Structure formats: C-alpha cells, structure tokens
Amino acid sequence: MEYIIKNGIVFDPLNKVDGEQMDICIKDGVIVESVSEDAKVIDASGCVVMPGGIDSHTHIAGPKVNTGRLMRPEDSYKDLYLKRGLKPGTGFSIPTTYKTGYEYCEMGYTTAIEAAMPPLKAKHVHDEFVDTPQIDKGALTLFGNNWMVMRYLKEKDYELCAAYVAWVLKTVRGFAIKIVNPGGTEAWGWGRNVHGLDDPTPYFGITGREIVRGLGIVNEMLGLPHSIHVHPNDLGHPGNWKTTIETMDCVKDIEPKPKYGERETTYYNAHVQFHSYGGTSWKDFVSKGVEIAEYVNKVDHVVVDVGQITLDETTTMTADGPMEYDLHMSTGNKWANCDVELETGSGVVPFYYSPKGPVYSVQWAIGLDIFLNTDPSKVLLATDHPNGGPFTRFSRIIAWLMSKKYRDYWLNEKVHKWARTRSSVGDNDKEYTMYEIAQITRANQAKVLGLSLERGHLGVGAIADIAIYDIGPEEKDPKVIERAFRYAKYTFKNGEIVVKDGNIVKEVFGDTLYVDVKIDETLEKELMKDLEEVFKKDYTVQMENYKVPEYLANNWKVIQIDNSEIS
C-alpha cells in the first residue's frame, strides 16, 4: 500500500526538521523518497506531523499490573471502552490489555516499553503483550537485585555477569537491563531496606554503587542498544536528591559502546521526579528539580524521564517492595506484594494525588521544574504510567509545557499553595515549542533506546509509524492542545492507517522487541555450570520452564548482537 501525506508541517528532531511543510511518502510499511501516482493522498495541510510516539517507561503488562487490575474493581467501573467492532475494555489507571493498546494508539503512540519484567514472570508479560494491539512492545528486565548478578559483581567477575545477563535477556526475551532500588528490594526480603548508595544489602554485602557501576560496565561490554535503566535508591523520600546525583555520578567514567543504535549516554534515570526531593521530612519538603536539571545539563552520560504527577487517582506499582510497604503504611490503602525468588520483588498500592494535598502539589511542580530547566534533548516525557498518573494524561502534560498561562492557572487556582512557594515553576517563563515536544516524546526516546535507526524519525527507510495531529504549530490554547494530542487525526502503524479522527479504524498487532547477544562458547559453558547448580539448589522451577517459548508474541523482532570476544 502506498500513501502520500501532503502539506503537513513536519517536526522530526532526529533529522533536524523543524516545522517544514513537506510531503511524506510511504510504501510497504516504510518511509520512502517517492511514490507512484496510485498512492492514496492524505491531506495534512495545517496539521502537525510527527513520528509515532514512544513511551520508554510504562507498566502495561505482567503480574504486578494484573494484580493491580484484580485488586481495583473500582478503577474499572467508571472508565469503559465500548467502541463497536473492537474489544471492550475497562480501567482508568490500569486499563485492560486491549484498551491499553487502543488508547496509546489514539494518542499517536506506536511503541511502548514495559519497565519492569521479573525474568521468572516473563511468560506472563509476553502473554499480555500478545493481547496488546496497535503498538510495538519491549520489556526491561530486572537485574538490580538478582542473586546471580550480585554474586558475580561481588566477586568482580564482570565477564560471567555479562554472560549471565546475555543469557537471561535471550531466554526470557528481554530488551534491556533495569535496576530498581539496587540492593533494597533484596533487603526487603529480610524485612529491611537500604538507605543510600553505600548501604550494603544483607547477606550479599554488596552496595547499590557496586550494582549500578557493575551493571553499567556489563551493559557496555555487551554493547546493548539501551543503557542501564535505573530507578535509584530512596525513591520518594525527602532529601533523596543527593542520592540521585551520587548515583548518576558513579557511572560517569563508563564509555558508551552500543553495538546497535546511536546511543551516546550510559545512564537512564527513570521517573526522576520521584528522586528530586529536598528537605528532611514531609514538613520541610521542597523541590530540588532545578538542581537535578542543572546536573543533567552539565554531564553527557545521563538522560532522564520525568515521571510527571498528573494529580489523578491512580495505582502505584513497582519492583521497589519496601517503598510500596511504606506507602501502604502511610496511606492505609490496600496493598499487595510479592517476592520473586532469587530475582526481585514488588508491591502495588492505589494512590490518590489530590490537587489539594500540599505534598502532591509539590510533587507535581517538581516534575515541571525538571521539564522546564533541563535541556530538551536530555529529558523524556513519561508518567511512569500508572505511578505518576495514567498515560492518557500525556496530552495534558504537553499543554502544561506549551502554555505558561495554563500552568499558572493550575498553580494559582487548582493546586495547594506549597507548589508556588516550594518550587520555581511560577518563575519560569519557558514554553515548549512543537519541535521540543517532538524531542521529548519521540526523538529522545528512540535514540536512548537504541532504536533511532528505524523508529522515532521520518527519514527515508524508517518504519512508517506516523502521527498527524489536528493542530497548528503555533497553537497556544491549552484546551486545543490537550484535545489534539489526546486524539490524533491519523495514526499510521507500519504504513497503515490505524487511527482516524481519534478512532481506531484498524486493529493491528505489534511486534515484541528483544535483544539476543551472542557470547563466547567457553564462557557460556562456565556460566551453565553455575546456573545448573543454582536451578537445582534454589529455584522452584527447572531451567527448561524458564524459557519464553516462540509462540508468545504476535511477531518477534530480535536485535542480534555478536559479542563473542568477551572472555
């Protein structure tokens, strides 16, 4: 099928296209130089054209998301998706699989990365991916509290650790290394937590610093497309901004060596809003968003996603088990948690970020502080869905960023006065341009995930994932912005029209991305000896049960990396 998108105003930061009126040609699912006269013409005059959106940090599949759905019938009953010809769905903060796919696509998003997959529960994650239509998916795999990783890193055996990481990624079909509260989730298994980067975890005696640095080294040894994806220690505690900067700083000497993609950074800090808290308690809690932004601007090895609070009722879920327990104890809300043998843990707690709450208002302002002060090429838009708020609020965040007036309206009319007095959002006049919005929702994500060769841009050869928004490039009315980015005029997935005027018109099934690194055979044999022993002694499953079978995807998209020189 051939299409030509005519007269759109194109924003494509990876190719430095800033609001140029041009035509985009599509043939057989990719973007091409020109098409024949039979091509279908899509009139995009007066509309903004961008590459398909990418969410690099979201929780949309797997056991903890499903637990959230089970424990929150009340989240389902007021948000129904009943469109004809499509699968119905429910859920506001934790939508069912089909609803997730449809709603991402309605917003012009075409790729989403599940941010926490416990290797042992990988089958569940992939099983839900199969039922998540419209978007391409990938899963960050949890390694930060893995017994094998901690054991090898304690012995400083980076080669075997690399071999293990490669084996897990291949076996459970994971996309990248995720680290959550390094050492802390393991400590939670002993009823404790770690409180800083140099606090040793019980039994293993390894610190967060050793885990983050070690996995950083391993990541570059393997040449993975994405960098280490880190949720540092101390999430959500006043005064944690120092730990955050320390964590970012501890990997600054590691060189990026991706063997796939064009990544230039070695460290991805997830939902940095939750890690930019000043003060010593909730009473003298202040924003340190500006300080974090200054650090990020100064260095070359870091990118951050914000994890913006949207001030909604939502469901928090993370592999940071002890933190969820704290949340449950402080709110009295229902709580579920899980220990994943030898690998990680998790917790789920519903949460209401009331705009009237002083602390929540400051949290909201911190996210904006980071957005407004960080170099737009180093910051990414995400809500850490559903932790900061549901992904369907992206368009509202875009409206906040593009309109100072809208921000001030919220600041003065809607939220608690702490947001004004304890952050610098009110003093900041920055308004994001359409180009910068394209950077923080598409280009930066594609680049840092190592997918910028074929995604996140509109150059010739790219996958034809395209969003067309019914909005002028100079539009300032927040209502118009919010509406336009919530319901795309058109979304193309692999060169097909899947959304028209905000409605899903075609159901397609996306690919599942994973990374397969080939490593040296003798090294792998050595690893297998250790692994067999661990499976026999400690796991409740056999190694064969661990594998994610071939059929658990609509289509696998494997990124092959040959790295047999590690020995």
Partner 1 sequence: MEIILTLREDITVPVELDALLPEKMQDMDVEEIKNIEVPQGRTTVKVGEIFDVKVIESDIPKMTIKNSSIKLKRVGEGMTTGEIVIEGDVGMHVGAEMKGGRIVVNGNADNWAGQGMKGGELIIKGNAGNYIGSAYRGGYKGMSGGLIVVEGNAGHEIGEHIVGGMIHIKGNVGYFVGIHAKGGIIRIDGDVPGRLGAEMIKGAIVVNGKVSEVLPSFKYEGIVENPVIKIKKKDEGTKIEGVYHLFTGDYVNNKPKGQLYISVASNPHLG
Contact flag: residue 336 with partner 1 (CB under 8 A): no
Residue 333 or 433 having the CB closest to partner 1: 333
CA distances to 215, 217, 232, 254, 345 from 211, rounded to whole Å, are: 6, 10, 11, 14, 17
CA distances to 2, 459, 465, 483, 489 from 43, rounded to whole Å, are: 14, 19, 17, 20, 11
Residue 281 or 522 having the CB closest to partner 1: 281
Q: Which of 34, 43, 77, 405 binds partner 1 (CB under 8 A)?
A: 77
Mapped onto helix, strand or coil, the DSSP state of residue 326 is helix
Residue 172 or 348 having the CB closest to partner 1: 348
| Shortest Cβ 350–partner 1 spacing (Å) | 8
| Shortest Cβ 192–partner 1 spacing (Å) | 23
- Whether residue 263 contacts residue 337, with contact meaning beta carbons closer than 8 Å, is answered with no
Q: Which residues contact 310 (CB under 8 A, 6 or more apart)?
A: 353, 364, 383, 388, 389, 390, 393, 396, 397
d(CA 277, CA 321): 20
- The HSE-up count of residue 143 (CA atoms within 13 Å, CB side) is 34
* Joined tokens for residue 230: 């880190």
Residue 77 or 409 having the CB closest to partner 1: 77
| Shortest Cβ 513–partner 1 spacing (Å) | 35
* Span interacting with partner 1, options 33-41, 73-81, 460-468, 478-486, rule CB under 8 A: 73-81
| Shortest Cβ 354–partner 1 spacing (Å) | 12
Q: What is the gyration radius of the CA atoms in the chain, in angstroms? A: 22
DSSP 80: E
| Shortest Cβ 78–partner 1 spacing (Å) | 9
Residue 41 or 70 having the CB closest to partner 1: 70
Q: Which residues contact 246 (CB under 8 A, 6 or more apart)?
A: 196, 197, 209
Residues 265-304 that bind partner 1 (CB under 8 A): none
Contact flag: residue 73 with partner 1 (CB under 8 A): yes
Task: Give the number of residues in contact with partner 1, rule: CB under 8 A.
Answer: 8
| Shortest Cβ 360–partner 1 spacing (Å) | 17
Residue 75 or 128 having the CB closest to partner 1: 75
Residue 73 or 205 having the CB closest to partner 1: 73
- Whether residue 428 contacts residue 410, with contact meaning beta carbons closer than 8 Å, is answered with no
Distance of alpha carbon 2 from the chain centroid: 32
Amino acid present at 452: S
Q: Which of 22, 30, 71, 508 binds partner 1 (CB under 8 A)?
A: 71
Q: Which of 20, 28, 43, 74 binds partner 1 (CB under 8 A)?
A: 74
* Joined tokens for residue 200: 């040793």
Residue 21 or 333 having the CB closest to partner 1: 333
- Whether residue 140 contacts residue 83, with contact meaning beta carbons closer than 8 Å, is answered with no
| Shortest Cβ 79–partner 1 spacing (Å) | 13
| Shortest Cβ 77–partner 1 spacing (Å) | 6
Mapped onto helix, strand or coil, the DSSP state of residue 216 is helix
| Shortest Cβ 72–partner 1 spacing (Å) | 6
| Shortest Cβ 68–partner 1 spacing (Å) | 11
* Span interacting with partner 1, options 30-38, 68-76, 535-543, 552-560, rule CB under 8 A: 68-76
| Shortest Cβ 348–partner 1 spacing (Å) | 13
Residue 260 or 325 having the CB closest to partner 1: 325
**Strand pairing report for 136-142 and 512-519:** parallel
| Shortest Cβ 333–partner 1 spacing (Å) | 7
Q: DSSP letters of 248-267?
A: HHTTTTPPP--SSS----SE
Nearest to 344 by CA among 128, 150, 139: 150
* Span interacting with partner 1, options 69-77, 401-409, 447-455, 499-507, rule CB under 8 A: 69-77
d(CA 504, CA 278): 44
* Span interacting with partner 1, options 72-80, 150-158, 214-222, 481-489, rule CB under 8 A: 72-80
Residue 71 or 130 having the CB closest to partner 1: 71
Contact flag: residue 72 with partner 1 (CB under 8 A): yes
| Shortest Cβ 335–partner 1 spacing (Å) | 13
Contact flag: residue 82 with partner 1 (CB under 8 A): no
Mapped onto helix, strand or coil, the DSSP state of residue 96 is coil
Distance of alpha carbon 155 from the chain centroid: 31
Residues 461-520 that bind partner 1 (CB under 8 A): none
| Shortest Cβ 315–partner 1 spacing (Å) | 11
Residue 76 or 373 having the CB closest to partner 1: 76
Q: Which residues contact 270 (CB under 8 A, 6 or more apart)?
A: 57, 115, 229, 230, 231, 304, 305, 307, 382, 384
Q: DSSP letters of 133-193?
A: -SSEEEEEEE-TT-HHHHHHHHTT-HHHHHHHHHHHHHHHT--EEEEESTTHHHHHTTT--
Residue 329 or 460 having the CB closest to partner 1: 329
Residues forming beta bridges with residue 467, ordered by sequence position: 50, 491
Q: Which of 21, 171, 297, 333 binds partner 1 (CB under 8 A)?
A: 333
Residue 90 or 219 having the CB closest to partner 1: 90
* Span interacting with partner 1, options 18-26, 71-79, 291-299, 502-510, rule CB under 8 A: 71-79
Residues 5-24: x where in contact with partner 1 by CB under 8 A, - otherwise, as a string? --------------------
Q: Per DSSP, which regions of 69-135 are E strands?
A: 80-81, 89-90, 109-117
Contact flag: residue 332 with partner 1 (CB under 8 A): yes
Residue 74 or 294 having the CB closest to partner 1: 74
By the criterion CB under 8 A, which residues form the site for partner 1?
71-75, 77, 332-333
